[in-house]
Structure 1
C-alpha cells in the first residue's frame, strides 16, 4: 500500500477491512468492497487476492480466476493455486486444473496447501471420469487415520467421497468414520454421511 498516496491508501484500507468483516455474513457486499478497493489499487497484490477470494466465495468463477492469477503473478504466492485450480474446474476445464496441480509452481507447497491442491486435482480427475486416477491422487497424500486437524479431515472426507464414486461403499464408510474422528471442529457432515451409509 506504500505505493499509493496517503488518501487513496486509507480508502483502500477501509474497503479491505469492510470486506473482511462482511466476508461471512454478507459475501456479496464484501465482494463489492473488494471490487471498490481493486478499482483504486489494481497493482497491489493483496487487493487482487482479496477480490479473487471473495469472487470465489460468490461463485464468480471467471472473475475469481482472473483476480487470483493477477495476485499470483504479482506476489508469487503459490498458496492461491488450489483456488485457481478449483475455478478452472468450475468453469468446466478440469484438464487445466490438473495442469496447475502438476505444474512446477505446485512443487514445495506448504502441507495444507498441497493437500488442498491434491483434493482439487482428484475432483478434476472425477470430472473426467478417471475414478482410479482420482483415488491414486488422494492415496499419494498422507492417508494416516491417526492424523487430526483440518488438513487430515478434508483429505479423509475427499477420499471417502471418491471411494463412494468408485462403488466401494464399505471402504467409503470406513473413511467417513476416520474423517469424523479427525473432525474436532465439526467442519464436515461426516457424521451424517456415516448415518446415511449405515442405514
Structure 2
C-alpha cells in the first residue's frame, strides 16, 4: 500500500497550482515551494475528479497525503474525497485527524454520517449530543440534525426521526442554502413513518427549494402518489404555490418598506 501511495498518479495537463484558492495555497506554504506546488496540483486534480471519478480523485488525494501528511488541508481533502468515494473508515480516520489538528468542528456532520455508514448509528447520535450547545455554523448544525435523524431511523425510531427535524428552519416559505436538503430529509422520514400525504407535500416543498436540481424530490413525490388518489398531490402543490406566493409577497413588502425608509433617491 505504501508503495502505491508514493506512486504519483498522472496529472491532467491543464492543472495549475494557482487553481487552488488563496487560503489553501497559504496553508501549503509551510512546505518547500516545489513540494507545495506538487501537492497543490494533486489536490486540484482530486477536487476536479471527485464528482466524476471518485476513485481517481482518491489516488490524487492519497498521494498528496503521502507527501504532506502533517498539513490539515491535505488530510481534509483526503477525508472528504474518501467520503464521496464511499470509503467510510478512511474518511472517518482522516476527518478525525483534521478535527484534532485544527480544533475545528466544520466536518462533524460528515464524521457522524460516516459512523452511520459503518453501521454505528449510536455513535452518530452520541456525536450529535456532544455537539449540542456548541456554536456551529448554521449549515453544519442543520446537516448534523439531518444525520442524527437518519441515525434514529436506522434504530427504528421513526417518529423520533421526524420530530428531531422540526424547528424554525423547517419553514416552507424560507429559502436558505440548506432548505432543500432539510425539506427532503423531513419528507423522507415522513414517508418511512407511513405519513404519505405529508411526505408528498414536503417532497414538493423540497423540489421547489431545490434550484440546482440536486435532489430527486419531485420524482419521490410522484412515486408516492402513483396509483393513489391525486387529491393529496393537488392539495400539496397548491399549498406549496400558496406558501411560495406568500413568501414572495412578504419579500416585496419588506423591499417597499425599506425603500420608504430610505427616502427619495438623489438621482
TM bin, normalised by shorter chain, reads: over 0.9
Write the distance in 1 (CA, Å) between the matches of 2:220 and 2:45.
Answer: 36
**1:32 corresponds to:** 59
Distance in 2 (CA, whole Å) between partners of 1:88 and 1:63 is 11
Match of 1:58 in 2: 85
Find the structure with the greater CA-based Rg. Answer: 2
> Given the alignment of the two structures, is residue 155 of structure 1 paired with residue 177 of structure 2, yes or no?
no
Question: Which stretches in structure 1 are left out of the alignment for 5+ residues?
Answer: none
Whether 2:33 is the aligned partner of 1:6: answer yes
Q: Which residue of 1 aligns with 2:213?
A: 186
Give the aligned partner of residue 138 of structure 2. 111
SS of the residue corresponding to residue 180 of structure 1 reads helix
Partner Cα separation in structure 2 for residue 168 and residue 8 of structure 1: 56
Q: In the alignment, what sits opposite 1:71? A: 98
- With 2-11 and 45-54 compared, the bigger mean Cα shift is at 2-11
Query: SS of 1:79's equivalent?
Result: coil
**Structure 2 residue 127 is matched with structure 1 residue 127:** no
Residue-by-residue CA offset, 1:7-60 (whole Å, 9 max, x unaligned):
222221121111112222221111101000101111110000000000011100
- Verify the 8 A CA contact 2:199 2:221 in the aligned structure 1: no
> SS of the residue aligned with 1:103?
helix
From 4, 11, 18, the equivalent of 2:45 is 18
Counterpart CA distance in 2 for 1:22 and 1:5 is: 26
From the two aligned structures, give the one with the greater helix fraction.
1
Specify the SS of the correspondent of 2:178: helix
Alignment map for 1:65-104 (pairs within 5 Å): 65-104=92-131
Gaps of 5+ in 2: 1-27, 227-267
After the TM superposition, which parts of structure 1 deviate over 4 Å for at least 4 consecutive aligned residues? none
Bigger relative contact order, structure 1 or 2 (CA pairs below 8 A, ≥6 apart)? 1
- How does the TM-score come out when normalised to structure 1? 0.95
SS in 2 for 1:145: coil
TM-score, normalising length: structure 2: 0.71
C-alpha RMSD of matched pairs (Å): 1.4
* Partner-residue secondary structure (3-state), 1:92: coil
What number of residue pairs does the alignment pair up?
199
Q: Cα deviation per residue 1:155-177 (whole Å; 9 max; x = unaligned)?
A: 11100110111111111111111
Q: Is the 8 A contact 1:134 1:162 kept in 2?
A: yes
